[in-house]
Amino acid sequence: MKSDPKDCLYCTNNETLHNLMIEIAHLRVSRVFLFKEQTYYGRCLVAYDEHVNDLNELSDEERNAFMADVAQTTRAMQKAFNPEKINYGAYSDKLSHLHFHLAPKYVDGPDYGGIFQMNPGKVYLTDAEYQEMIEKMKANL
C-alpha cells in the first residue's frame, strides 16, 4: 500500500519523526537519523530524500547513490560504536517511503543472533549522551 507524501513521516518532517529520532546528516540522496530508542546502541536509519516505495523504483544511478549512503553510514557506525554486526531492515509495509533501519548487534547484547525489535521502548538516553553519539557519527561520516 503506497502512502501519500502529505502523510509521510519523512516527507513532512513532523513532530512524530522528531520524537522518534534525531537527524545527524544529509548525504548524497538521503538523510541519516539516530534513533532515540537505543536498545541497539548506535541504531540509525537512512531515509531516501524523495518519496519512493522501493529500491526497484530507482534508476541504477539513484539506487547506487542510496546504497552508497547506507554503506557510508554503516562504516561510520562501525568506527563509532564497534558492533559485532549491523543488521539491515527495509520493511515499509505501512509507511511506503524507502528507508533502511541499521541496528548494531553486540555479542551478549539484546537479540544477538536473532532479529532486532522495531521499537522495544526500553533504553532512552540523556540529551548529552545523544549528542556524544551524533558527534562520533559525524566524525566518521
**Amino acid identity, position 67:** M
Q: At what angle do helices 127-140 and 60-81 cross, to 10 degrees?
A: 120
**Amino acid identity, position 72:** Q
Q: What is the pLDDT along the chain (141 residues), one digit of tens a residue?
A: 577 888 899 999 999 999 999 999 999 999 999 999 999 999 999 999 999 999 999 999 999 999 999 999 999 999 999 999 999 999 877 778 999 999 999 999 999 999 999 999 999 999 999 999 999 999 999
d(CA 38, CA 57) in angstroms, rounded, equals 31
What are the structural domains, with CATH classification, of the chain?
5-140 (3.30.428.10)
Is residue 31 a contact partner of residue 25, using CB atoms and an 8 Å limit?
Answer: yes
- Alpha helix segments (H runs only) across the chain: 9-12, 15-20, 60-81, 127-140
d(CA 126, CA 119) in angstroms, rounded, equals 18
